[in-house]
């Protein structure tokens, strides 16, 4: 099971809102899951406070520590993982059109991809009733304000990287790329694949290489910004 730990988000001003359409859909589900506007108001305040630790994401769940005036709490949230047949259909939807995997790796979730997946019976974006959580604060509401705050921060992660949503639904980034390669490699090796499969395979290679180069550049910049040891 692939687990990715996302860095702690520093305190920020302004509303705890998302800007991209899929992240806004996530926020809508979060707000549907809440019990009261007061809980949402408290959650937004916590989410902006910088007192939520690193968020660990894996298929079907996310975990984070949350601090408030009453103490330190551990939140475990859940999202239903897609069935194997639905995951297969999702991979097919990504591969169906050249440029979709590159868009995902560049931080975009095409409307057409989600619509294509829905036509195949795959609901990628969750409903409020699908979001579950537990928290050591033992509040009677599920989700409690601490869990809602973590979900708001997940919306910010989704804003930057829609692959976080696929990961929660059961299809981690590396698995997606591997399955796209497996899907097109046999036909590419025999020369019997059509142009669409060749385009997808090339798409994966180019996009993955660009992503790796970007990650290496960010690592170099972060290293340069760190103060040298004295």
The residues near 23 (Cβ < 8 Å, ≥ 6 apart) are 155, 156, 158, 159
Contact 65, 36 (CB under 8 A): no
Burial tier of 34 (Cβ tally within 10 Å: 0-12, 13-18, 19+): buried
What is the tens place of the pLDDT at every residue in 57-112? 999 999 999 999 999 999 999 999 999 999 999 999 999 998 999 999 999 999 99
In 3D space, the residue among 11, 139, 132 whose CA is nearest the CA of residue 71 turns out to be 139
Q: For the chain, give the mean pLDDT.
A: 85
DSSP 107-151: T---HHHHHHHHHTT---SPPGGG-EEEETT--SSSS-HHHHHHH
What is the tens place of the pLDDT at every residue in 15-43? 657 899 999 999 999 999 999 999 999 99
Q: What percent of the chain has a predicted confidence (pLDDT) above 90?
A: 71
What's the confidence (pLDDT) of residue 18? 87
Q: Which residue has the higher pLDDT, 88 or 12?
A: 88
Rounded (to 5) percent helix, strand, coil in the chain = 55, 10, 35
Q: Is a pLDDT exceeding 80 seen at residue 198?
A: no
């Amino acid at each position: 099971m692939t687990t990715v730990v996302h860095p702690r988000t520093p305190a920020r001003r302004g509303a705890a809102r998302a800007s991209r359409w899929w992240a806004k859909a996530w926020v809508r589900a979060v707000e549907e899951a809440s019990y009261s506007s007061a809980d949402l108001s408290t959650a937004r305040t916590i989410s902006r406070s910088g007192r939520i630790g690193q968020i660990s994401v894996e298929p079907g769940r996310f975990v984070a520590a949350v601090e408030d005036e009453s103490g330190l709490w551990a939140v475990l949230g859940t999202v239903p993982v897609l069935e194997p047949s639905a995951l297969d259909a999702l991979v097919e939807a990504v591969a169906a059109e050249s440029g979709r995997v590159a868009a995902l790796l560049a931080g975009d979730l095409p409307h057409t991809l989600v619509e294509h997946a829905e036509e195949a019976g795959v609901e990628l974006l969750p409903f409020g009733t699908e979001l579950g959580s537990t928290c050591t604060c033992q509040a009677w509401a599920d989700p409690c304000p601490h869990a809602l705050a973590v979900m708001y921060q997940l919306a910010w992660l989704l804003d930057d990287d829609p692959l976080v949503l696929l990961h929660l639904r059961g299809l981690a980034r590396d698995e997606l790329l591997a399955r796209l390669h497996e899907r097109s490699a046999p036909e590419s090796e025999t020369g019997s694949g059509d142009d669409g499969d060749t385009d997808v395979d090339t798409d994966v290679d180019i996009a993955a290489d660009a992503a790796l180069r970007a990650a290496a550049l960010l690592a170099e910049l972060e290293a340069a910004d760190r103060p040298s040891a004295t």
